[in-house]
Structure 1
C-alpha cells in the first residue's frame, strides 16, 4: 500500500489538482446541490449516476460502484499504477519531477520490451547522426533543406533521420549481441525467405514516432528514391506500437495544449512541423489512419478545443466530417473548429508556397464552426444552379441546422439567402417543417418512459444525491440493523483514534462482518502514519482496494458528516455485542419454523415459536 514516492510529493500533487477538473476532462459534470453529477465514464450511463464531492475530493458511481480519490480515478481510467497516476497528475499541473521519482513511477516492463525500447532509441540517434554528419545522409539532408525548407534545428527538434542502405542498424544490433528473435520482435528489420535480416527503412528519411511520454516505438519513412513504388512506410502494428492509440508529436505538444486549451489535428507529420514553425506548437497527427475514439480521449484530457486541419481534397473533407461526428460522440464538452486553408492546399504546402505568415494567419483566423463547415461541404459536387440539386442541398442543410443553435441557424439561413436569392422566410419555413418532422419521430419512444426516467429528468436540487441513493435497489433495504451499527462504528473509529482505542479494548468485541474487521485493522495502521483530521481521499488511496473503497463511500454517505458521540458509540457496541447474536438466532429460528410448517411438525413448530417469542420479549 505504501509508495516509494515521498509523501510530501504526493500531498503537493493532491493540493494542486481538483478532482472536479480532472474528472470533468472525461465526462461533463454539472453542479447538483452540494455535489457534481455526470455520466460515469466507466460504463454506458444513460442516467447520470456519477457523483463527485469536491469538498472531500472523492467520486462515487451509484450504478457500477466505482469509488475513490482523484488518484484511483486516473489509475482505473488510464490503466496506471498508483505511482504512475501520481506522476500523470503531477505532469498535468507542470510540477517539476525528480528523476528518482520518475523512475519509481515508471511502469515496469519485461526485459525483452525494455531491450526493444532501447533499440528504438538507439536507432533514432543513429539515423539522425547519419543524416546530419555523414556522406550517406548528404542527399537526404539536401532534399530536406531545398525541397522541404527545413533547418538543421528543426530536424534536430523533431528527431528526423536517414537510414542508409548498408544495414547500419543491423550491424549495430549484432555488435551489441542482440538475439535475432529480439531483432525480429522489434519490427525494425525485414526478413527474407532465407532468414536474412536487413534494415526495414533502408533508403528512407524517417520521422520517429513516440508515446505520450517520449519513448520511441516506431518510425515513419519516406523513400528518397522517387522511383520507389512505396513512397511512405510506417512501422507495423505491434504490442508496443498501435496506430489507433498514438498521436504524432503529442509528447511535445501536450503541455502547451493544456496551457492554451487548444489542440490542432493534422493529417501529416510535415503539417505538424510546418505549424510548429509558424509558432503553432499544439499540433498532433494521426498515424496514417483515421481519428479514433482513443485519440479523442487522449486529447480531451488536456484540451478544451480541437481544431481540425485537414486537406481540402475529397479525402480530407470526408475525414473532417467523420472526425466532427467522432469528437461529438466521444467528448461532448470539446469545442470543435475546422481550419479552412487557401487554394485547397495542405499546411505544409501553404508554408512552402505562400510562406509562414500566411500559414500562421490561416491557422488562427480561418476557422469555421462545424455547422458552417458542414453547410459548405454540402455544396461539394453539386451544380447549385440546377434546381433539383439545389433543393437536395437545402434538404441536407436543414438536417445539419437541426443540430445548430438558433443564432447559428439564423446566420446560415441569412448566408444562403444572400448567396442564392431564396427568401429567408421560405428557408425558415422549410427548417421549421424539418424540425417538426424530427420532433414527431421519437414520440412513441417518449411514451415508454418510466417513472424512473421522469425522476432523472427534473431532480430536486438539494436532495438529488439522497433520492438517487434511495432509487437504486442495490442500496435500499439490503443492510441489516447490525451492519448499519457496524458501519457507523467503523466510521467513528476511523475518524477518531480515541474511539479506535476504546473499541479495541472492549472485551469480547468483534465485527460480525469480516469486511469491517479488515477495515478496522487497516485503519489502525493508517492512523499510525497519518496524524491529524481524517481525510477520506487519503484513506482510500491508502487502501487501494476497489471493493473496500466502495464500502467506505457507502459508509461515508450515511455517517461521514455525523459528530462522533460517546453515547452513540456505546449504542453501536451494545447492538453488535449483545443484539447481533440474538438477531442471528432469530433468523435461524425463523428458518426452522418455515421448515416445520412445510413438514407439518406441530410439536416442533410450537417449541420453536415459543423460543422466538421469548427472545423478542427480551429484546423489548
Structure 2
C-alpha cells in the first residue's frame, strides 16, 4: 500500500512538516541546546524523557524507547498506517492530496461494516430527496424554511432530510435485498415484540452524523409532533457510532479550523449551522454528551484556540466549566475563550431573532477569558446585594483568581471594587489570605507543567543516557570496546558507501551482535535506492522500533565523527580479532570461577596460565 504513494510526494511532506510542531501538539517542548525536550506523550513521564532533534527530524524517548520520524510518531500516537500518516500530515500543511492516495491508504473495511455504511449513506440520500422533492416532506420543509430560516442550499449542504411514517427506508432495504442482519446492525430500524421492523426516525427531521472522513454513521432526528415527549432522538451507540469520539460537522469544518487555528464548540446542530450561515464555519458540536478527551485531541491537532459557545442556562454554564478544566488538563498551551451571547439566547436563537450579523459579531467580539467566565459563573443564582451571598461569591472569586495572571487579577479586582464599592486594597488582602484550594486536575496540571519547564538534565547539548544507551556510551570501558567498534563501523557505512563495500568484501567478516548484521543489510538496500542518506527517511524505511532506537544511539555517539581509513582498519581488527579473544577470556574466567568453587587447584592453575597467556597475546 505504501509503495503506491510516490517517494517524491513523501519527501515533500517530510520537507514541509516540522516534527517539533507536530509533537508539540501533544506535549510541551522546551529548547535545550541543539534539541527539544519534553514529557513523552506515550506514557506517564514524570521527568522529561523525550528528545526531538529538529535538524534531523527524529525523536527518541529514553524511558519507553519509542523513536523514529514524524511519520512513525503519528502512526504510533494515532494508530495510523504509514500511508495514512503521510496523508494526514500532508493535509495538515494544506498539500494537495491525490484522491487515489487516499483510496489506497484507507483501511479495508470488512463486508458487513461496508454494507452498513452503504445503507447509512443510502438512507441519507433518500431522506433528503423526500424532504426536498416530495409531498411527504412539505411540512418538514416549511418548518425548516419558516421557523429555522434555512435556505435550500443550506439544507443540501448539511444533508438534512425527513423520514415519513410509511416505513420508506424499510421498503427500500427490502427491494435491495439487504439482509435483516444488516438492517438491525445499522440501527436505522426498530423491532417490535413480534420481530417486525419499522423506520427508527419516522416522523422526524433528521441531521446526518458523519465520521471524520465524511462517512454517514448515524442520525439525529427532531419530531414535528408537539405531543411527542421525545423531542430529539439519536442513533444508539455502536461500534461505528461513538458519541464520545464523534464531533458533529468536524468533517466539513476541519479545513477552516486548520486555516484559522480556531475551533468553536457548540451544544446543538442548529447552532453549528447558524455559525456557518453567519460566516464562521469552523464550528462543531458534541453529540448530546459532555466534551471528552477524544474530542479535545481531535480539535487540538488542528487548533491552537478553542471557543466554547454554550447556552447561558445553568446546564450550559456547568458544561463550559467542565470543558475548561478538561482542555486545560489535556492541552495547556491552547488558548480558551468563552463566547457570551446576548440575552442568554442560544446561537441559533440569536441568528433567527436578531440576525446573522449580530451572531457573527458576538462570535468575534463577545469572548471572555476562562477566569472572567468562571468569576461571572460564580455569581449565578446569588443575590449579591445580600451580604452573606456576596461574601460567598468573593470566596469563590478569590480561589479562581489564584490561577490568574497578575494582570488579570488586577483587572478583575478593579471590576469587583468598582461594581460593589469594596476597597480594592481590601480585595487584594483577601486574595493574599485565601488558601489555595486546587482541584486534583489542577494539581496534576501544575506538576506536569513544572516537570516540563524544569527537565532534570545536566548537559543541555547531549541528553543523559540510560539503559542500553548508557551501557554503550562513548565513555564506556574497554570491556564494551567491541560494540563501540560495531557502532562506529555502522556509522561509517552510512556515511560512505565505499566503506560498506570494503566491509562486504572482507573475507570472514561478521558482526558479533546480529542486530548490526541486519542493519548492515538494510543500509546496503537503502543506499541502492537513495542517493543521499537521511536519518528520518532511513528510520521510516526500517520501521522496527528496536532498530530505530539502536540507530539513534549510533548517530548520537558517532554521527559527528569523520570517516578515517585507519579507523576502519581498527574497527575491523577489534571485531574480527579482539572479539573472539574476548569471548575466549570470558569462557576461561567462567571456568576459573567453577574451579575455585570446586577447590580444584590443578585445574585452577592450568586455566589461570591460559588466561595470562591469552591476555599477553592480546596486549602485544
- TM-score range (shorter-chain normalised) is over 0.9
List aligned pairs for 1:464-543, cutoff 5 A.
464-466=460-462, 468-470=463-465, 472-477=466-471, 480-531=480-531, 533-543=532-542
Q: Which residue pairs with 1:584 in the alignment?
A: 583
Secondary structure of the structure 2 residue equivalent to 1:220: strand
1:55 counterpart = 2:55: yes
Q: TM-score, normalised by structure 2?
A: 0.94
Secondary structure of the structure 2 residue equivalent to 1:130: helix
Q: What do the CA deviations read for 1:333-378 (whole angstroms, capped 9, x no partner)?
A: 1000000011111101111111111111111100000000001111
CA distance in 2, matches of 1:259, 1:3: 30
C-alpha displacement at 1:606, in angstroms?
A: 2.0
Check whether the contact 2:46–2:451 (CA below 8 A) recurs between aligned residues.
no
C-alpha displacement at 1:193, in angstroms?
A: 2.2
List aligned pairs for 1:324-403, cutoff 5 A.
324-403=324-403
CA distance in 1, matches of 2:496, 2:110: 44
Q: Which residue pairs with 1:221 in the alignment?
A: 221
Check whether the contact 2:28–2:452 (CA below 8 A) recurs between aligned residues.
no
C-alpha displacement at 1:212, in angstroms?
A: 1.2
Q: Which residue pairs with 1:138 in the alignment?
A: 138
List aligned pairs for 1:176-215, cutoff 5 A.
176-215=176-215
Counterparts in 2 of 1:30 and 1:456: CA distance versus 1, 3 Å: closer
CA distance in 1, matches of 2:12, 2:455: 39
1:250 counterpart = 2:250: yes
Secondary structure of the structure 1 residue equivalent to 2:248: coil
1:607 counterpart = 2:606: yes
Counterparts in 2 of 1:300 and 1:454: CA distance versus 1, 3 Å: closer
CA distance in 2, matches of 1:291, 1:453: 27
Check whether the contact 1:317–1:377 (CA below 8 A) recurs between aligned residues.
yes
Q: What do the CA deviations read for 1:197-248 (whole angstroms, capped 9, x no partner)?
A: 2221111111111111111111111112121121111111111111111111
Secondary structure of the structure 1 residue equivalent to 2:202: coil
C-alpha displacement at 1:388, in angstroms?
A: 2.2
Check whether the contact 1:469–1:475 (CA below 8 A) recurs between aligned residues.
no
Secondary structure of the structure 2 residue equivalent to 1:476: helix
Q: Which residue pairs with 1:595 in the alignment?
A: 594
Secondary structure of the structure 2 residue equivalent to 1:221: strand
Secondary structure of the structure 1 residue equivalent to 2:380: coil
CA distance in 2, matches of 1:572, 1:453: 41
CA distance in 2, matches of 1:402, 1:131: 54
List aligned pairs for 1:223-372, cutoff 5 A.
223-372=223-372
Q: What do the CA deviations read for 1:6-58 (whole angstroms, capped 9, x no partner)?
A: 11111121122111111112222221111111221111122222111111111
Q: Which residue pairs with 2:152 in the alignment?
A: 152
Secondary structure of the structure 1 residue equivalent to 2:209: strand
CA distance in 2, matches of 1:465, 1:172: 67
C-alpha displacement at 1:603, in angstroms?
A: 2.2
Q: Which runs of 5+ in 1 are unaligned?
A: 446-451
CA distance in 2, matches of 1:459, 1:49: 10
CA distance in 2, matches of 1:186, 1:294: 24
CA distance in 2, matches of 1:410, 1:456: 28
Check whether the contact 2:47–2:452 (CA below 8 A) recurs between aligned residues.
no
Q: What do the CA deviations read for 1:234-283 (whole angstroms, capped 9, x no partner)?
A: 11111111111111111111111111111100001100000110001111
Counterparts in 2 of 1:2 and 1:514: CA distance versus 1, 3 Å: farther
Q: Which residue pairs with 1:82 in the alignment?
A: 82
C-alpha displacement at 1:181, in angstroms?
A: 1.0
CA distance in 2, matches of 1:202, 1:566: 81
C-alpha displacement at 1:475, in angstroms?
A: 2.8
**How many residues get paired?**
604
CA distance in 2, matches of 1:564, 1:524: 17
CA distance in 2, matches of 1:455, 1:217: 42
Q: Compare 607-616 and 350-359 and name the one that shifted more.
A: 607-616
Q: TM-score, normalised by structure 1?
A: 0.94
Q: What do the CA deviations read for 1:464-506 (whole angstroms, capped 9, x no partner)?
A: 252x323x34532357322221111112212321111111111
Check whether the contact 2:280–2:360 (CA below 8 A) recurs between aligned residues.
yes
C-alpha displacement at 1:192, in angstroms?
A: 2.0
CA distance in 1, matches of 2:545, 2:187: 38
Counterparts in 2 of 1:456 and 1:149: CA distance versus 1, 3 Å: closer
CA distance in 1, matches of 2:253, 2:571: 56
Secondary structure of the structure 2 residue equivalent to 1:464: coil
Check whether the contact 1:204–1:222 (CA below 8 A) recurs between aligned residues.
yes
Secondary structure of the structure 2 residue equivalent to 1:552: helix
Q: Which residue pairs with 1:433 in the alignment?
A: 433
Check whether the contact 2:60–2:68 (CA below 8 A) recurs between aligned residues.
yes
Q: Which residue pairs with 2:419 in the alignment?
A: 419
CA distance in 1, matches of 2:215, 2:453: 49
Q: Which residue pairs with 2:476 in the alignment?
A: none
C-alpha displacement at 1:599, in angstroms?
A: 2.3
CA distance in 1, matches of 2:98, 2:578: 55
CA distance in 1, matches of 2:611, 2:586: 10
CA distance in 2, matches of 1:504, 1:7: 28
Secondary structure of the structure 1 residue equivalent to 2:555: helix
CA distance in 2, matches of 1:453, 1:386: 44
CA distance in 2, matches of 1:130, 1:56: 57
Q: What do the CA deviations read for 1:406-443 (whole angstroms, capped 9, x no partner)?
A: 100111111111111111111111111226x679x9xx
Q: Compare 334-343 and 568-577 and name the one that shifted more.
A: 568-577
CA-atom RMSD in angstroms = 2.0
Secondary structure of the structure 1 residue equivalent to 2:471: coil
C-alpha displacement at 1:327, in angstroms?
A: 0.1
Check whether the contact 1:2–1:542 (CA below 8 A) recurs between aligned residues.
no
Q: Which residue pairs with 2:562 in the alignment?
A: 563
Q: Compare 20-29 and 246-255 and name the one that shifted more.
A: 20-29
Check whether the contact 2:401–2:409 (CA below 8 A) recurs between aligned residues.
yes
Q: Compare 324-333 and 220-229 and name the one that shifted more.
A: 220-229
C-alpha displacement at 1:566, in angstroms?
A: 1.5
